[in-house]
Amino acid sequence: MMLVCSTGLTTDILVAKIVKIIFSKNLAIDVSAVSGAKALTEYHELKPDIVLLSPQVRYMKKELEMITKNDQIPLSIIDMKDYGLLDGETILSKAMTLLGLVMK
């Protein structure tokens, strides 16, 4: 899972929360936060199963869709409310749903 944000501070906190949930539920998911400036380069290096955009970089959706569609990788914008509340559990659950997985 790759989370794209503008600078990284808030998303780093969000990633820490998501990783804690992943660990507590014994899930095999890797999560990385990258800045919008490095999103394309990091995408090719990380080869994520899903890309989530923070609300601040939603303008990048069309640009990233060009490569994620070719790779058949889901791309979604994180809900503003979930992002603002740093609701890692809801964001992880929605990502898993997009991947066709269920979080227990």
pLDDT at position 10 is: 79
Q: Would the pTM of this model clear 0.75, i.e. be above it?
A: yes
pLDDT in tens, the chain (104 residues): 999 998 767 788 999 999 999 999 998 899 999 999 899 999 999 999 999 999 999 999 999 999 999 999 999 999 999 999 999 999 999 999 999 887 66
The helix or strand, by DSSP H or E, that contains position 42, with its residue range, turns out to be helix 39-46
pLDDT at position 8 is: 67
Contacts with 87 (C-beta within 8 Å, 6 or more apart), sequence order: 81
pLDDT at position 104 is: 63
Nearest to 43 by CA among 71, 13, 7, 80: 71
